[in-house]
Structure 1
Amino acid sequence: MKRGMMRLPVLSCLIPVLCIAGCTQFPQLDAVQSEGVRKAPYPALIPLADLVDQPTAPGATVEARTQLEAQAEGLQSRADGLSGREVAQSADTAERLAGLREKAAELRAQEP
Structure 2
Amino acid sequence: MRIRPALVTLPLIASLIAGCSDLLPLDAALRNGTRGAAYPDLIPAEQITDRGTPNRITPETAPDLDQRSAGLRARAQRLKGGVVDPTTQSRMQSGVTN
Q: TM-score, normalised by structure 1?
A: 0.32
Higher helix share: 1
Q: TM-score, normalised by structure 2?
A: 0.35
Larger Rg, first or second structure (1 or 2): 1
